[in-house]
Amino acid sequence: MTVLAFDLLVEGKPLAVEVDGKKLCIAKVGEEVFAVDNICTHSDAELSDGETNGYKIECWLHGAEFDLRTGAVLTAPATIPLKTYKVTREGNSVTISHNSNQE
Ligand code: FES
């Protein structure tokens, strides 16, 4: 697991974080934090180089959009959902697990 400070996160600007060897993308939405795989399921682009808008994260390369809460594909060309990861927040402390919610 990895622990980071909530106040380092900027809404709309996802962050790449390595958690026990996995490359994840962390995104703040209001008071919530979500973690998904950082590599887009369409091709080899890092989602942390793109943007979020509410619960949507958009891949900068071809414009696929995913729901941060479930990993579901919202917009083509991606067809495979992202894996999501467990995040817990206590005050300013955000803990990210390397265990996928889908495993
Ligand atoms: S690599 Fe993400 S949409 Fe193509």
61 in contact with ligand 1, CB cutoff 6 A: yes
What is the homologous superfamily of the domain 2-100 according to CATH? Answer: Rieske [2Fe-2S] iron-sulphur domain (2.102.10.10)
Q: Profile the chain (103 residues) by mean pLDDT over runs of 10 residues.
A: 94 95 96 97 97 98 98 97 96 92 76
User: What are 89's strand-pairing partners?
Assistant: 94
Q: Check residue 103 and give its pLDDT.
A: 66
Question: pTM value?
Answer: 0.94
Query: How remote is the CA of residue 92 from the centroid of ligand 1, in Å?
Result: 32
